[in-house]
Amino acid sequence: MTALKLSNVCKSFGKTEVLRNIDLEVDEGEFVVFVGPSGCGKSTLLRVIAGLEDATEGSVEIGGEMVNQVPPAKRGIAMVFQSYALYPHLTVEGNMALGLKQEGQPRAVIEERVAKASHMLSLEDYLKRRPSELSGGQRQRVAIGRAIVREPKLFLFDEPLSNLDAALRMKTRIEIASLHKALDASMIYVTHDQTEAMTLADKIVVLRDGAVEQIGAPMELYNNPANRFVAGFLGAPSMNFLPAETLGGAAGHTIGIRPENLRIAEDGQISGTVAHVERLGGDTHLLVRTPAGDEVTVRIFGQSQIQRDAEVTLAYDPAEAYVFDADGARV
Amino acid sequence: MNKARRNPLNTAAAHLILLTYTVIALFPVFVILINSFKTRKAIFREPLALPSAETFSTIGYETVFKQGDFFLYFQNSMIVTVCSLFFILLFGAMAAFALAEYRFRGNTLMGLYLALGIMIPIRIGTVAILEMMVATGLVNTLLALILVYTAQGLPLAVFILSEFMKQVSDDLKNAGRIDGLSEYTIFFRLVLPLVRPAMATVAVFNMIPIWNDLWFPLILAPAEATKTLTLGSQVFIGQFVTDWNAVLSALSMAILPVLILYVIFSRQLIRGITSGAVK
């Protein structure tokens, strides 16, 4: 069964079009990530699904029911916000229970679900505390707990990790992944971080300027991007783009090569000077400037002794390169 | 303050300035208080002297309690001030919430219209207001004063509160909507507590002019039963003779309730229970 179906969803604020003709289906139990640069409309799309914004056009179906006219609380969704958005006047327990109380659930059910969720998130010791007495990571767990207790048909996450520091972000990312497994729930997750998208998603939706660029499994998008934007957005360091003419291709076309597919070789097709070296221990990143002024990133596994200003030639396998036409579409 | 950044000279200078200001601000109050406990002659002989055994007298307070219904005036002032503040804060906050939260046609225009009153003194409309009050039969009622003061206070309240409400996290309100809270619950339970410092500011700004006002009580409610404290004290000020003991005593007592209200509101100004809602 489909957990969510969007058909031709459009949204505009006055004359500004924010979302254009979005079609999307999310299967039950699927983890879908909306990813894109800031201002691409991914958060607005999430808010349309949540019912916090009305779609200007198109329909939103959750669990097979059309919900365009249904208020957020009755859509069977739960949302986790970037800023946690905990109720400052309520305890952790009160924060988690409020939604259920509003639904008119009996007290026994509320207590049982809060107990279950707080056990799952190891929040048992904090139930009587107020949000101001918790650390950032604990607050985020309470926010997730508040979503879990409602047992929604669809979880919505709006950049939930961007207020956490790097170490905690990774930990919480793994927690969310295992939570998805444990609950077997449908989840939609908005982020601008491609690492989060790649690691969490069953299906990634890449958005740009309010339109869907490509939908697919993470590795499918990585290995087979539909256009230059998707190719450049996924993968870190991002893909190198060179004018095809310099490499013997058609005029106007662009050749894209992933940094890990380039290697230093005597008979390489690309020559240039090393402009910068980043040594990460496990990897070494070289920034090579070609005589034509293009910059190419090379990812070398392990530690390389290469120095700045060294002259190098780079080789790549044409089978691993991507060709894009002048409009950015894949050839 | 950080110890490294604390310069004793600066600290002393800051304290000196603050203390000087405090003395200047409190001096008139002090003079009123000491003189209210002196005999009439002593007031004129040495206005700045403290009451001594010879000059001490409570004649002023006695006159106040004997003449006129001082407690009634007091009660009237209290009712008018508290009710006006309540309505200013309630309606001001509601209008501010609507302006800050909802996107609708003419939002900005409506905001400007509601704030226009800041620039137009309400006293210009006194004649029209009086005519209206006569027509509606509200002359010589406390309600007339409450209505006028509410109107007078609303523009600034809407202006200040809508700025503050715009700063309340959208996520928090949306979380409430997803949990099924009504817009009213979101307003009263989530937003109002977070703008409490702004509400206290608005309350303090409005409270003192209302409490001290002589103009509207004199015009709209001069009857004995509806006299406010300021108006009631005027009986002691005559064209030829002024009973200074009584005036000073009445003023001393009039300071007290404003002081209490101010302490209540300023505690709200300081109290910060808002942390932890959003990062």
| pLDDT one-digit tens code per residue, A200-233 | 999 999 999 999 999 999 999 999 999 999 999 9
A57-62/A2-13 β-pairing? antiparallel
Q: What is the mean pLDDT of residues A305-321?
A: 91
Is a pLDDT exceeding 50 seen at residue B273? no
Contacts of B276 in chain A (CB under 8 A): 86, 88, 130-134, 139
The pLDDT tens digits of the residues spanning B1-34 come to: 566 667 888 889 999 999 999 999 999 989 988 8
**A132: nearest CB among B175, B193, B276:** B276
pLDDT for residue A266: 85
Tens-digit pLDDT profile for residues B123-136: 999 999 999 999 99
- The pLDDT score that the predictor gives to residue B270 is 59
How far is A229 from A207, CA to CA, in rounded Å?
10
Joined together, the tokens standing for residue B44 give 């004129």
Q: Does position B269 have pLDDT exceeding 80, yes or no?
A: no
Mean pLDDT in residue range B165-182: 91
- Choice between B147 and B46, residue whose per-residue pLDDT is larger: B147
Q: How far is CA A101 from CA A80, A107, A211, B172, B184, in A?
A: 18, 8, 38, 18, 17
Tokens coding B206: 């409005």
The distance of Cα A106 from the centroid of its chain, to the nearest Å, equals: 37
- A74 has which bridge partners? none
Q: Do A79 and B175 touch (CB under 8 A)?
A: yes
How far apart are the CA of B209 and the nearest CA of chain A, in angstroms?
Answer: 33
Q: What is the per-residue pLDDT across B220-265, written as a single tens digit (0 to 9) for each?
A: 999 989 989 888 888 788 777 788 888 888 888 888 888 888 888 7
pLDDT classification of A51: cutoffs 50, 70, 90: very high
A71–B179 CB contact, under 8 Å: no
User: Which residues of chain A from 37 to 66 reach within 8 Å of chain B, CB to CB?
Assistant: 47, 50-52
- What integer best gives the mean pLDDT of chain A? 92
**Domains of chain A, start order:** 2-231 (3.40.50.300), 237-324 (2.40.50.140)
Per-residue pLDDT, averaged over A100-118, amounts to: 93
**pLDDT tens figures, A261-289:** 999 988 888 999 999 999 999 999 999 99
pLDDT, tens only, A253-263? 999 999 999 99
Task: For chain B, state the CA radius of gyration.
Answer: 23
Partners of residue B174 in chain A, C-beta under 8 Å: 47, 50, 52, 72, 79, 81, 85
Q: How far apart are CA B141 and CA B133, in angstroms?
A: 9
- pLDDT, mean over chain B: 86
Q: What tokens appear for A277 in the block? A: 């070296």
- What is the C-alpha separation between B252 and B38, in angstroms, rounded? 13
| pLDDT band at residue A14 using 50, 70 and 90 as cut-offs | confident
Q: Cα(B65)–Cα(B59) distance, rounded to whole angstroms?
A: 10
Q: Please, what is the end-to-end C-alpha distance for chain B in angstroms? A: 23
Tell which wins on pLDDT, A142 or A266: A142
**What's the pLDDT score for residue B3?**
62
From the list A77, A81, A130, which residue is nearest B175 (CB)? A81
Rounded average pLDDT over A96-101: 92
Contacts of B172 in chain A (CB under 8 A): 83, 85, 87
- Residue A128 C-beta-side C-alpha neighbours within 13 Å: 1
Per-residue confidence at B278, pLDDT binned at 50, 70, 90? very low
Q: Do B179 and A102 touch (CB under 8 A)?
A: yes
pLDDT of residue B276: 39
Q: Say whether pLDDT at B147 is over 90.
A: yes
A105 touches chain B (CB under 8 A): no
Q: What whole-number distance in Å separates Cα of residue A89 and Cα of residue B194?
A: 10
pLDDT of residue B115: 87
Flag if B279 and A136 touch (Cβ within 8 Å): yes
Domain boundaries, chain B: 1-57, 61-270
Cis ω on the peptide bond leading into residue A237 (within 30° of 0)? yes
Whole-number pLDDT of residue B2:
60
Alpha helices per DSSP H over chain B: 8-36, 40-45, 59-66, 70-101, 107-115, 126-136, 142-166, 170-178, 183-185, 192-194, 196-212, 215-220, 229-233, 244-270
Per-residue pLDDT, A250: 83
Burial (CB count within 10 angstroms: exposed 0-12, middle 13-18, buried 19+), residue B44: exposed
Widest CA span of chain A, in angstroms? 75
* pLDDT value of residue B8: 86
Q: What share of chain A is helix, strand, coil (3-state, %, to 5)?
A: 30, 35, 35
* Number of A–B residue contacts, CB under 8 Å: 87
Do B178 and A72 count as a contact with CB atoms less than 8 A apart? yes
Q: What is the mean pLDDT of the segment spanning A250-255? A: 88
Q: Do the beta carbons of residue A22 and residue A211 sit within 8 Å?
A: yes
Q: What percent of chain B has pLDDT over 70?
A: 94
Residues from chain B that touch A14, judged by Cβ atoms under 8 A, are none
Instruction: Identify which of A13, A74, A132 has the shortest CB distance to residue B275.
Output: A132
Residue A186 scores a pLDDT above 60: yes
Q: How confident is the model at residue B279 (pLDDT cuts 50, 70, 90)?
A: very low
**Contact of B75 with B58, CB cutoff 8 Å:** no
Q: Give percent above pLDDT 90 in chain B.
A: 40
Q: What is the pTM of this model?
A: 0.80
Helix (H, G, I), strand (E, B) or coil at B116: helix
Best residue in A48, A52, A67, A126 for a mutation probing chain B (most B CBs within 10 Å): A52
Q: Which of B178, B192, B273, B279 should one mutate to test binding to chain A, selecting the residue with the greatest count of A CBs within 10 A?
A: B178
Q: Which is more confident, B268 or A68?
A: A68
Q: Which residues of A touch B278 (CB under 8 A)?
A: 83-85
Percent of chain A having pLDDT more than 70? Answer: 100
Identify the pLDDT of residue B275. Answer: 38
CATH class in words for B61-270:
mainly alpha
